[in-house]
Homo-oligomer: A and B are copies of this chain.
Amino acid sequence: MTNPVLADVLRGDQVESRHRGSVVVCDASGKTIMAVGDTNKPVFPRSAVKSIQALPFVESGAADAYGFGNRELALACASHNGEPEHASLAQSMLERAGLSEADMECGVHWPTLQKSALDLASSGRQPNQLHNNCSGKHSGFLCTCAHEGIDPTGYVGADHRLQEMVRDAMENVTGAKHDPAHRGTDGCSIPTYAIPLKNMALGFARMATGEGLAPQRAAAAKRLFEACMAEPFLVAGTDRADTKLMQAAPGKIMVKIGAEGVFCAAIPSIGVGIALKCDDGAARAAEAIVARVLEIVLRDDKDLGPKLKALANPVFRNWNGIEVGGIRTPEAYA
């Protein structure tokens, strides 16, 4: 099936580009509240499910053993900008477990935030693996290995004990079988498995409510979601959609972007999970669409509405600061 257009990109008052995709909203029992487009097709969740992948880090007792609080838990769920605060916190997590940047296997890239990259360069420095947007997740992985006495070497491999723990948590929480035939390699080298979008939304609803999860897992899920909502800057950073969305509704909504146009979200107070995939992989569209879906689901919230509407319809300005267009999402889907 052809997915519907979920966001238009305008230049002046003309539609210049458009983004198609699928969205599903469901509760922790799996009951569908809203579904647009094909929500059964396997989709790579990429980084949108880092909070689920962080369950072994909490459940193993590693996070407590090293004295970690909301900040470290949020960073373990992050795709961050590589700002100084992100990189230094990842370093301190590793140090607490007697590890270092040299133990990481995520690879090096310049900070995602251009200002941070330019600041590094202007001070004559080079980036390292702590600046990788996944460095918090990898620090959590490494701390889990250290605490469990697992040799961390090759911890990014699909057959490594750590990735087996992560996969077990993912299968349990999302209810979707993780099939090696649907496996790909993520940007930071860990495996990623394509699963139906519906299962990603279900997983987020379960994480938010604890329903359908064992008590210890439900408690770990609650801690991770609350940590992200308490420390939204650490989950992404300056000018990022995740951070702005969670700052707009403190403690009310949990969101996480994934590469290639994926977004997951949850609203713990009403027990719903949301997952969406922009067909073409565009982050700009996924960011606007998730804001619109949250606005639709939370339409009774008169305070939050205007903030979400603004994020659902961002304005583009050119290099001279002139408004040249923007993204327009519809008032309703389906």
Contacts and interface: CB of A to CB of B under 8 A. Distances in A.
Interface of A: 2, 9, 11-12, 14, 16-20, 42-44, 105-110, 114, 117-119, 121-122, 124, 132, 182-189, 192, 194, 260-261, 278-282, 285, 318-322, 324-325
A9 B322 contact: no
Given A2-B2, A107-B318, A107-B320, 4 more contacts: A110-B114, A185-B324, A280-B285, A282-B282
A104 to B, nearest CB: 11
A186 B318 contact: yes
Contacts of A194: 14, 16
Q: Which 5 A-B pairs have the closest CB atoms?
A: A107-B319, A17-B281, A11-B184, A12-B184, A280-B280
Copies of this protein in the assembly total 2
B118 A261 contact: no
B279 A14 contact: no
Contacts of A325: 184
Given A105-B320, A114-B117, A281-B16, A192 B11 contact: yes
A23 to B, nearest CB: 16
A42 B17 contact: no
A326 B307 CA distance: 37
Contacts of A117: 114, 117-118, 121
A319 B187 CA distance: 6
Contact of A319 (B2, B184, B188): B188
A261 B17 contact: yes
Contacts of A12: 183-185
